Chain A
Amino acid sequence: MSSSLMNKLGHDRQAFLLSDTGSKVFLSLLVIMSLLVIVGNLMIPETSALHISTYTVTLLGKYLCFALLAMSVDVIWGYCGILSLGHGAFFALGGYGMGMYLMRQIGDRGVYGDPLLPDFMVFLNWQELPWFWYGFDQFWFAMLMILLVPGLLAFVFGWLAFRSRVTGVYLSIMTQALTYALLLAFFRNEMGFGGNNGLTDFKDIVGQDLQADSTRVSLFVISAIVLAFAYLLSRWILQSKFGRVIISIRDAEARTRFLGYRTESYKVWLFVYSAVLAGIAGALYVPQVGIINPSEFAPLNSIEVVVWVAVGGRGTLYGAIAGAILVNFAKTRFTAIFPEAWLFALGGLFVVVTVFLPKGIVGLLAKRNKKNNGPDNKVAEADV
């Protein structure tokens, strides 16, 4: 994306968005995968060798949610240099929003058969629904909250942090403290989110049975569409003038400020956007795995996301997505074959990637194909 190329294509954004190889490869892969899943799961009979099991569909759907989460981290880390170690918090908040909706959908089919109260509240002897559970029986309200709650938290946190110019590792540790505080809070039964056990035992979503194959495939396809849409939107945002300022903040914040830009507002809005993406990822994740509990807030989870991005290569968006899918695929295989070794592998990955592969897999590929691609991906080259 040299600047001359960009100017030329500035008029026709649609064409521009699909101009680089990475995006093309990524989007076509996504479409092919979705089609394969639809055909493989719903049309090919179970007896056939080509049949894709519902378990695999759900697993792939989960990967896509993680990919969206990784992309949300890449948006702020790769493009703005803000290393958030607390993005799991936004992910989990989105997940809880969806979980609350699904919980209300259970109705009187719970173990205790209470038409209004979720099981855990009956268990805790609560008499009425807490105020913050109102409205979650409506799908649109739940969706709104999934966008609003992480966004609002990110806004308040970001506004406080960026305004007083908390940067670098301080900010990272603050975000980690944020998710740690939420972890502790959600573990409490008194919070009204199911405490330790979280929310689970979901039955259906917008009238569809959650266990049905068709629902699973639909959820997967929705995840794929949302991911593609979010990818295009993020690209569009980051290629706009706003995005240019963001990148200049990453490279020289003080200079950008002296040029007259209010860097903190740019950072806050990007942070909010990223948090909303993470929240959506969480909301898509919960119906597919069927549970949300406070462990999603664990600082380790958030840091793992960062490593996905680092492995894939930050500052390219598709790199983050590739990293998320690769690392999670490895995790699934590793934990199945020899679970003892997974933490060794993950830890090793942290060290190897940061020391030897600062630009991730994408950077490695770019280096190899330098002749083919030309001086592509300036974004990825700049050190953060």
Chain B
Amino acid sequence: MLLRFTYHSVLRLLFVFAACYPFNSMAQDVLVPVLSEGNGSIEDTVPTIASVSERLAGAKLKEVAAIVNELETVGGTQVLPLFQALIDGDLFYTKGDKRIVIAKRIDSSKQYLLKDAISGDELGTVEKKKIRKVKTNNRLRSGIRTTIARLHLFSDDVSLRQGAISNMSEKLTQDNVNLLLQAKQTEKNKSVRASIEVALAMYQLDAGERSEKLAAIGLLKGNLDPTVRNKLATVVESESDKSIAQAAAAALKTIEGKITFYGYLETLFFGLSLGSVLLLVAAGLAITFGVMGVINMAHGEMIMLGAYTTYVIQLLMPNHIALSIFIAIPAAFIVSALFGILIERGVIQFLKGRPLETLLATFGISLILQQFVRSIFSPLNRQVATPEFMSGALEINSVFSITYNRLYILVFALLVFFILQLILKKTSLGLNVRAVSQNRDMAKAMGIRTEWVDALTFGLGSGIAGLAGVALSQITNVGPNLGQAYIIDSFMVVVFGGVGNLWGTLVGGFSLGVLNKFLEPATGAVLAKIIVLVGIILFIQKRPRGLFPQKGRAAE
């Protein structure tokens, strides 16, 4: 009994000490928007807050507690920065006009940067002797901390309330629990209510009766929050009551099952993401190789050119990163398409019907383009900045989140794919392309300018490679070897999916991507790639024409 008691008191002491930190960061993160939102109401409330807070100047310790309480009722969330500064020891008043300010020392000099404690206006820098600290002690601080938590917990902002709860559930002191119980009565938002219940259940695991503990475990079952998991794990280890420990273990198992499930979901997403990149890089190839039958080993360099176009456009407009991406998309298409047309007119048209020579010549072109870029931009990798709307992640729960850049690329790849399908199926260019690819002589006899169509088709395929370059610039560094890394992969995708079939490329890209990512955890990235390569080599033995071979007369 005695032992237990001391254990608790020690814990409490620890909590008091440890409490300082997390609140800090939280308060600073969330307060700025609150202040700026509250601007309109400042007009009528400021006088009262100001009059109350003025009394802090030179107040004795005894008086400070009372003033703080008064401030809370008068100011609400608006006095949060002031409270926070008080806890941190940053709250001062100027000796001259007794103004309450938040002062930050500038890099260990004697100068202090002042901000008004209530409005947040910058007041310039002063020397140390011009200001004096508002007195506090530890007891006062812990009181204020509770006050801050209360203010957060009962504020109007849902995210503020959620933040307060998640902070509280990391250290469930009696005060916090009381606050939570209070909040539970009034809380209307469902998800906030649920988090309060989870926090309370975690408290019950420590302090509750047996039945309460079991109920708490029942509630926590399936919750993915890492703090909940840790809590249950400690219960499993340290709980003396076997049935409770067992229940906790079972709950933990359910949670782990869920985590595994989300793990698979995450792998699937990574696979789809890799697949979308493969689809993008292979879609252009599916046109030039699949539809025209031209092996373009310089395809990777078309991707590289697209990526460098993105880089250059970003250099030209460094202040509009988001806009630069949208400009880069058509620009990269045009640059790569022009290079493609140039290659087709300059070299490939002379090698018609000699695929192996085409392969070699275009390989030579790829070497030239690489060296060209290396000479202009240096062989070093370049970083392309990611616009704001593409950075960050969509958090679905605490173990599963989707990064925006990969999500956007997935959407982009599908969009490009469907536009490409539309072009091939619905436009006259598409009709001509299909006609020429099926029977060149007949198409010519019908009056189609086959050379013209060849050049445009090649331009289209290369332009799409340029689009792939824009996408790739968002997930990897841009360098002269960017394209080479993808050329073999993209050929694999086209060959695997079936030459001359865009749907095959879609299915091939996604299935290879997903397969790769599911193999990776078991074998490591390199071995997974090797296994996939060998797998494709074997697959081609079985189905030399790929997953979806072209049928009918056009096949020959």
Contact = CB atoms under 8 A, between A and B. Distances in A.
Contacts of A177: 488, 491-492, 533, 536-537
Contacts of A187: 526
Contact of A346 (B354, B364, B374): B364
A163 to B, nearest CB: 7
A384 B540 contact: no
Contacts of A174: 537, 540
Interface residues of A, number: 43
B544 A166 contact: yes
B370 interface: yes
A255 interface: no
Interface residues of B, number: 41
A347 B360 contact: no
Interface string B470-498: 00000000000000000010011001000
A343 B371 contact: yes
A172 B364 contact: no
B174 interface: no
B239 to A, nearest CB: 42
Nearest to B491: A173
Interface string A204-236: 000000000000000000000000000000000
Interface in A241-270: none
Nearest to A180: B488
A184 B367 contact: no
Main secondary structure of the interface of A (DSSP, over half): helix
Contacts of B536: 177
A83 interface: yes
Contact of A184 (B369, B526, B540): B526
Interface in A131-172: 157, 160-161, 163-166, 168-170, 172
B366 A347 contact: yes
B404 interface: no
A225 B527 CA distance: 40
A178 B544 contact: no
Interface string B322-336: 000000000000000
A152 B533 CA distance: 19
B359 A184 contact: no
B537 A160 contact: yes
Given A83-B359, A347-B364, A178 B537 contact: yes
B319 interface: no
Interface in B106-151: none
Interface stretch (A55-63, A329-337, A348-356, A366-374): A348-356
Given A181-B533, A188-B527, A344-B368, A350 B363 contact: yes
A160 B536 CA distance: 12
A93 to B, nearest CB: 15
Interface stretch (A31-39, A46-54, A103-111, A303-311): A303-311
A342 B354 CA distance: 26
Interface string B314-355: 000000000000000000000000000000000100110011
B541 interface: yes
Interface in B499-545: 526-527, 529-530, 533-534, 536-538, 540-542, 544
B361 interface: yes
Given A347-B365, A350-B367, A164 B359 contact: no
A315 interface: no
B541 A169 contact: no
A347 B530 CA distance: 29
A358 interface: yes
Contacts of B366: 347
A128 interface: no
A340 interface: yes
Contact of A354 (B351, B368, B369, B540): B351
A33 to B, nearest CB: 29
A299 B484 CA distance: 10
B367 A346 contact: yes
A131 to B, nearest CB: 19
A12 interface: no
Interface string A175-200: 01110110011011000000000000
Given A178-B537, A185-B530, A347 B368 contact: yes
B295 interface: yes
A163 B360 CA distance: 26
B356 interface: yes
Contacts of B350: 355
A165 B365 CA distance: 30
A178 B491 CA distance: 13
B88 interface: no
A162 to B, nearest CB: 10
Contacts of A184: 526, 529-530
A172 B374 CA distance: 28
Interface in B389-448: none
A157 B364 CA distance: 27
B375 interface: yes
A169 B356 contact: yes
Interface of B: 295, 347, 350-351, 354-361, 363-372, 374-375, 488, 491-492, 495, 526-527, 529-530, 533-534, 536-538, 540-542, 544
21 contacts: A83-B356, A160-B538, A166-B544, A168-B355, A168-B356, A174-B540, A177-B488, A184-B526, A188-B527, A303-B360, A343-B367, A343-B368, A343-B370, A344-B371, A347-B369, A349-B364, A350-B364, A351-B365, A351-B368, A354-B351, A355-B361
Given A343-B374, A384-B356, 4 more contacts: A165-B544, A168-B355, A176-B491, A347-B371
